[in-house]
Structure 1
Amino acid sequence: MRLTTISLALQSIGLISARAITHPNLRVETFINHGSSFDMVSSLIIGSQAAVLIDLPMAIEGAEALADWVKLMKGVLGEKSIVNKVHLPTPYDFSFFTLPGDEATPIHFLNPLTGDTVDETLFWIPSIKTLIAGDSVYGHDMHLWLADSLTKALTESWLSTLDLIDYLKPNVVIPGHSLSNKKFGCSIDVDHTRTYLKYWQKEIEAKGLDHFTPQVIFDKFNKQFPGLLNLNSSTSAFLLNSTAEQFGRGGTRQVHYIDLAAYADVEALDGWTM
């Protein structure tokens, strides 16, 4: 998640009043936005007096479904707990935030890091050892978005982000996209993402742009990671097709609105390492 989206999540969606619940610790509930939102995972961090929604779906129908899910929380939080007032987003200049009544359990921003693109932000909740990893981690049941990984430095930096996640030793890692939220754990999705990236790094990226045709790239990934083209979701096939077209000879390239090819210095990308 980028900082602009953090601002939107914290202020446009805003704090969801939750005065009816009294839990000693923060907890996180997740919701999968299926369909045209590409199985994006939204997370609701719930505290003793308030809650905040992280990662919003990219399509209107997904947003409506997510809103209905949040409204279901009225049964837990109380009928008057869900606020409807919308706040215009403004820049958020701090590296953490706290929820009312839970000042001893801050939520930290880890950024800027590299995931499936640059300037990713991860949400780390040390009090419950939970990491909302955004698009730095993909569910083990799907292919990855690699169409923004235009340089070897971007791939290497993404792997560094996964190493950082390991160093944190989280109990739960919530990926940015997943077909299901039933098996979020400490390593299953991180390990899948790392294995996938290393295969990409060795078998495709190292050969250079246009070495293979899109069909060959598609087939190689499909053979190496069987079972990820789920018939109940088009997301995984879309992600793999995008990778194949981006790097395959004669393929249809993605339109990039920032110069990702300029990110060629892994030391600059991993400036957080001293």
Structure 2
Amino acid sequence: MASHGLQTHIHVSSEKGLSSVSTLIVGSKAAALIDPPFLVPDANSVVEWIKQKTSLPLKAVFVTHHHPDHYFSANPILDAFPGATLYAAPYVCAGIDREYDDKVKYWPSVFGAENVPAKPTKPTPFHHSLFVLEGNEESPVLLLGPLQGDSVDHTLFWLPSERTVICGDAVYARSTHLWVEEVETPQLLDAWFKTLDLIEEGLRPEKVIPGHIEQGWELDAKADLAHARKYLQFFGEKVTYAKKKPGVDELYKTFKDAFPQADKNLDFFLGHLSNQFGEGGQV
């Protein structure tokens, strides 16, 4: 009997967990998850959500990039679904390895030891450019990368048969500020624009799944891509190509006022942006 293609469902983490997105890909005989959440309570929620969405076996969990809010609390998911393996592209694994010890020490001090695993599982390097789920061999999932997003090591997961792209933090929903702390040069900014070009002009997706979206917001491929591009253009104007370095408080207010609908986790996103690129101390 012919399968009916792959379905994608999203789970949005708590505001405390930075509203990161986990995506479940469900086929006719198996499922895979993209991007476990940051915090343990959100991971426990993902476990229950997966069980509600499908009774099919979870075969794999993938990570889009090395930032902790996209893999740190995979442990509860792997414990609940022992048949699943945690994977990431080799360049993502390298980024995780590079920062692992520092991040494992740091984040419990921010969120509390009960909210982050003492020893997050490191992904196994995935040395292939695609995977297929059993029963859906005609609907491959392609891994495109490394590409620039809010870090240099993004993988896009492209479902060509479904015209769906899972972007990690190469795209943020219009509800959310972008993490731009690591976009330290014009070349990195330009590379991020090129990733957006690839998505919009090369892939031409019908469904775009961003790395972060606030609770209650709907996915909107056109609007979210436009938001990401507008935000990066504004960042280029106010920071990358600014003739004068702005003050930290001015920078915070400028971005807050320019994107009033993005009103969550301001101290995290705008605090880091302002402290990284502004003058005059810390906000």
> C-alpha separation between the residues in 2 aligned to 1:164 and 1:226?
28
- Map of 1:63-142 to 2, 5 A cutoff? 63-73=43-53, 76-77=54-55, 83-85=81-83, 87=85, 89-142=123-176
Contact 2:166 2:209 in 1 (8 A): yes
Moved over 3 A (4+): 78-89, 250-253
Contact 1:35 1:62 in 2 (8 A): no
TM score, norm. by length of structure 2: 0.73
Match in the other structure for 1:148 = 182
Q: CA deviation at 1:44?
A: 0.2
Contact 1:138 1:144 in 2 (8 A): yes
> C-alpha separation between the residues in 1 aligned to 2:189 and 2:162?
29
Match in the other structure for 1:203 = 238
Q: What stretches of structure 2 of length at least 5 have no aligned partner?
A: 60-79, 87-122
Residues 239-263 of structure 1: CA distance to partner in whole angstroms, max 9, x if unpaired? 111111111113459xxxxxxxxxx
> C-alpha separation between the residues in 1 aligned to 2:281 and 2:3?
52
Structure 1 residue matching 2:268: 3-state secondary structure: helix
Return closer, same or farther for 1:90/1:228 CA change in 2, 3 Å cut-off.
closer
Does residue 58 (structure 1) correspond to residue 92 (structure 2)? The answer is: no
Q: CA deviation at 1:35?
A: 3.2
Report percent identity of matched pairs: 35
Does residue 248 (structure 1) correspond to residue 278 (structure 2)? The answer is: yes
Q: What stretches of structure 1 of length at least 5 have no aligned partner?
A: 1-21, 254-274
Structure 2 residue matching 1:156: 3-state secondary structure: helix
Residues 131-161 of structure 1: CA distance to partner in whole angstroms, max 9, x if unpaired? 0011000010111111111111111100110
Match in the other structure for 1:193 = 228
> C-alpha separation between the residues in 2 aligned to 1:161 and 1:80?
29
AA at the equivalent of 2:227: H
> C-alpha separation between the residues in 2 aligned to 1:157 and 1:87?
31
Match in the other structure for 1:272 = none
AA at the equivalent of 1:54: I
Match in the other structure for 2:110 = none
> C-alpha separation between the residues in 2 aligned to 1:29 and 1:246?
35
Contact 2:165 2:205 in 1 (8 A): yes
Match in the other structure for 1:184 = 219
Q: CA deviation at 1:26?
A: 0.5
AA at the equivalent of 2:82: N
1:239 to 252, 269, 278: 269
AA at the equivalent of 2:189: T
> C-alpha separation between the residues in 1 aligned to 2:57 and 2:128?
32
Match in the other structure for 1:172 = 207
Return closer, same or farther for 1:181/1:77 CA change in 2, 3 Å cut-off.
farther
Contact 2:189 2:232 in 1 (8 A): yes
Contact 2:3 2:136 in 1 (8 A): no
**Greater RCO (CA < 8 Å, at least 6 residues apart):** 1
CA RMSD of aligned residues (A): 2.4
Q: CA deviation at 1:78?
A: 6.6
Contact 1:31 1:181 in 2 (8 A): no
Count of matched residue positions in the alignment of Structure 1 and Structure 2? 225
Contact 2:12 2:22 in 1 (8 A): yes
Return closer, same or farther for 1:190/1:229 CA change in 2, 3 Å cut-off.
same
Q: CA deviation at 1:236?
A: 4.1
Residues 77-103 of structure 1: CA distance to partner in whole angstroms, max 9, x if unpaired? 379998434647432111000000111
AA at the equivalent of 2:236: Q
Structure 2 residue matching 1:161: 3-state secondary structure: helix
- Map of 1:220-235 to 2, 5 A cutoff? 220-230=254-264, 235=265
Select between 84-93 and 138-147 the one with higher mean Cα deviation. Answer: 84-93
